[in-house]
């Protein structure tokens, strides 16, 4: 039964890691190279993340500078960023692409907060699903191994503690991201 708790903990850690990555990609007030992590560029006949075809630097808080390793890809990078829906201003300078990150409007901040809440709720649902799977697995093993009902209840409480800790971590991540999005 300990292996089930350990597997549940690992799955919850994976959910939290995934959520952290999703929240990092949500644009807050300043420029960040991670803002472009989800953008895929059509190069060499396939779709690749920007960080695999170019170097991304942050020369100042409102700007990103993308230097493609192959200068012929600058146009494809510009197009991918323009079509990403992130509301970024893109300038192709021939051998590099400059991205201006405009300040967020209050309306856009509210939209991003809603997106963050949606992502957090999806993560909570995912964690609860993993809890249900762990309990089902434990009950199947209990039928075969003769685990007492008292032990089953104890294991369920342990699983619930792991889940509560995971949801608490999600709430903290959401709170930090919301505060970041609301800051001017």
CB 56 within 8 A of CB 36: yes
22 pLDDT higher than 90: no
The one-character DSSP state at 100 is: E
109 and 176 fall within a common domain: yes
77 and 133 fall within a common domain: no
DSSP alpha helix (H) spans, the chain: 2-25, 74-82, 106-145, 149-182
Summarize pLDDT for 114-162 with one digit per residue, the tens.
989 999 999 999 999 999 999 998 888 888 876 778 888 888 899 999 9
Out of 44, 76, 100, pick the residue that ends a domain.
100
Supply the range of the domain harboring residue 79. Answer: 33-100
111 and 133 fall within a common domain: yes
75 and 9 fall within a common domain: no
| Number of folded domains that form the chain | 2
16 and 68 fall within a common domain: no
62 and 150 fall within a common domain: no
- What's CA 51's distance to the chain center, in Å? 16
38 and 92 fall within a common domain: yes
Return the percentage of the chain with pLDDT > 90, whole number: 34
Report the sign of the C-alpha dihedral through residues 21, 22, 28, 32, in that order: positive
Out of 54, 80, 100, pick the residue that ends a domain.
100
| Model pTM score | 0.72
Summarize pLDDT for 37-49 with one digit per residue, the tens.
788 999 888 999 9
The confidence score (pLDDT) of residue 7 equals 93
Out of 68, 85, 100, pick the residue that ends a domain.
100
Q: What is the CATH number of the domain that holds 78?
A: 3.30.1360.40
Return the percentage of the chain with pLDDT > 70, whole number: 97
The confidence score (pLDDT) of residue 27 equals 66
Mean pLDDT of 56-80: 89
Q: What is the CATH number of the domain that holds 145?
A: 1.10.132.20
Tokens (6 digits) for 167: 């949801």
19 and 45 fall within a common domain: no
The confidence score (pLDDT) of residue 24 equals 79
Which pLDDT band holds residue 2 (cuts at 50, 70, 90)? confident
Task: Provide CB contacts within 8 A for 159, sequence distance 6+.
Answer: 4, 5, 8, 131, 134, 135, 138
Any idea which residue has 């890809």 for tokens?
73
89 pLDDT higher than 90: no
Order of all β-strands in the sheet with 54-60: 54-60, 63-68, 97-100, 89-92
Look over the chain and give the mean of its residue pLDDT values, rounded to a whole number: 87
Mean pLDDT of 99-109: 82
The confidence score (pLDDT) of residue 184 equals 60
């Amino acid at each position: 039964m300990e292996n089930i708790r350990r597997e549940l903990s690992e799955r919850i850690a994976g959910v939290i890691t995934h959520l952290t990555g999703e929240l990092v990609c949500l644009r807050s007030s300043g420029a960040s190279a991670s803002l472009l992590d989800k953008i895929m560029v059509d190069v060499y006949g396939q779709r690749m993340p920007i960080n695999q075809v170019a170097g991304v630097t942050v020369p100042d808080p409102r700007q990103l500078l993308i230097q493609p390793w192959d200068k012929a890809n600058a146009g494809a990078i510009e197009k991918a960023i323009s079509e990403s829906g992130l509301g970024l201003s893109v300038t192709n300078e021939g051998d590099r692409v400059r991205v201006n990150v405009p300040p967020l409007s209050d309306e856009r901040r509210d939209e991003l907060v809603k997106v963050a809440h949606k992502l957090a709720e999806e993560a909570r649902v995912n964690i609860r699903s993993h809890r249900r799977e762990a309990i089902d697995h434990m009950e199947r093993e209990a039928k075969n191994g003769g685990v007492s009902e008292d032990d089953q209840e104890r294991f369920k409480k342990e699983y619930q503690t792991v889940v509560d800790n995971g949801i608490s971590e999600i709430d903290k991540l959401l709170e930090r991201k919301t505060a970041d999005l609301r800051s001017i």
